[in-house]
Amino acid sequence: MKNLLLLLLWAALPFTALAQTFDHTHAAWGALLKKHVVLIDGGKSSQARYAGFAQERAALKNYLDTLSKVSAQEFSGWNKPQQMAFLINAYNAFTVEKILTRYPDIRSIRDFGRVFGNPFKDRFFTLFGREFSLDMIEHDTLRKPGAYNEPRVHFAVNCASIGCPMLREEPYVASRLDAQLEEQTRRFLADRSRNRYNAADNALEVSEIFKWFAEDWSSGYRGFDGKGEAMQSLAQFFAKYADLLADAPAHRQTIAERRAAIRHLDYDWTLNDIRR
């Protein structure tokens, strides 16, 4: 009987090891980000050293391979913060890889095409055992109704463009995901080049992200722990962060009281390359 138990334990070891192989700290991606993402504008934005990423493309591809090896079954066994961190990091890392397929002869991710060759719809990588696209990560998975209900992911996924919320200088990890998403939110809203209050017109001039995905801030979102005030509108969201969107106390009060009009700034699709 003792020998039989030992045999069963030995046989189970490969499966146990396999289940524990994925690195939820995303250390390999973190090492690349630390070297090739540069904070600018007081940490409210960033630029990427794509030339540096290109020199370490083998390391990037090794990390991407670890993502592609995760099965749907393994993914479903993770908790939601682990799943979200995985998906956000995958989106950002595969976007960098997409840029490198044409770098340095590329000035915008839109150079790939908007209809034919659309980089967001192109299924150029594998996840969960099938061909996947960036849109499938963002819209079909992260934004899937009833899945995560977390609009702050829009400040975490990066589309390699100046107009996009910054590429974070570290990977997203489950243990700190709420704090990381909150910091990304505050950084983006405090960036006057993309979100600001126009006192002359009593208008909030904000990123087009808030036009494209307005419904995500009207879905009753209550925060990461589900205990916050239910979010029902963009005006309510901006009111919560009024201190970041204006400098003068009177202007902040106007935003907090939801008395400012909302306008959208043109999106800058220029590549967020440090050489620019």
Q: What value does the CA radius of gyration of the chain take, rounded to a whole number of Å?
A: 21
Q: What is the pLDDT of residue 240?
A: 94
Closest CA to 86 of 101, 71, 98, 99: 71
For the packed helices 80-100 and 57-68, what is the interaxial angle rounded to 10 degrees? 140
pLDDT, averaged across the chain: 92
pLDDT tens for each residue of 102-156? 999 999 999 999 989 999 999 999 999 999 999 999 999 999 998 999 999 999 9
Average pLDDT over residues 248-264: 98
Q: What is the pLDDT of residue 232?
A: 87
Q: What is the pLDDT of residue 19?
A: 46
- Any idea which residue has 């009753």 for tokens? 220
Q: What is the pLDDT of residue 258?
A: 97
pLDDT tens for each residue of 5-42? 444 444 544 444 444 589 999 999 999 999 999 999 99
Contact 65, 147 (CB under 8 A): no
Contact 198, 249 (CB under 8 A): no
| 216-245 residues labelled b (16+ CB within 10 A) or e (exposed) | bbeeebeebeeeeeebeebbebbbebbebb
Residues found in the chain:
276
- Asked whether residue 165 carries a pLDDT value surpassing 50, the answer given is yes
Query: pTM higher than 0.95, yes or no?
Result: no
Average pLDDT over residues 193-200: 97
CA distance 272 to 259: 34
Average pLDDT over residues 182-205: 97
Give the start-to-end residue ranges of the domains of the chain. Answer: 23-264
- Asked whether residue 225 carries a pLDDT value surpassing 70, the answer given is no
Tell me the pairing of strands 130-132 and 125-127: antiparallel
Percent pLDDT > 90 in the chain is 84
Give the residue, 275 or 172, on which the prediction is more confident.
172
